Amino acid sequence: MAFCQGCGTPIQQTDAVCPNCGMANANQIQGTPSDKPIIVNVQQPVGAAAVPAPPGNGMSIASLVLGIVALVGSLTICGSIFAIPVALVGLILGIIGKNKLKTAGAPFGKATAGIVMSIIALIIAAIVIVFVFVLGIGMASLPRYRF
């Protein structure tokens, strides 16, 4: 009985290679050809490298988050002022992220959602600002509506 020098598995002295790891048997007895097929042990890479996130993925997530924040903010009077710059940044990040993901051939649903939500937030914020502030100032300038 011999042992594989590679993995320590007990192997036959007549074996040309270790049936477990495929290492050549240094102590093989010559002249006794092994009829066993040579097993090539294809080892799976341990801890395969994680698939890197496609470029533009972070931007798309940021766009989506900014779009949601802007959308929620646009629904309030004070928030609508802050929603415009937030939505603009979300829109820009969404467009850049979408282009990068498209180039990389990755799905860009998040970027599209970020762009759409940013645009909706911009529209709502613009409407709120126009109605509340412009109309409010206009009404306040009229004596009978002064408050």
- Positions that interact with Zn ion (CB under 5 A): 4, 6-7, 9, 18, 20-21, 23
CB 7 to Zn ion: min, Å:
3
Between 4 and 87, name the residue whose CB sits nearer to Zn ion.
4
Q: How far apart are CA 122 and CA 128, in angstroms?
A: 10
CB 18 to Zn ion: min, Å:
3
CB 5 to Zn ion: min, Å:
8
Between 23 and 119, name the residue whose CB sits nearer to Zn ion.
23
Between 22 and 54, name the residue whose CB sits nearer to Zn ion.
22
Q: List, in order, residues 6 or more apart from 21 with CB less than 8 Å away.
A: 4, 6, 7, 9, 41
**Residue 123 in contact with residue 91, Cβ under 8 Å?**
no
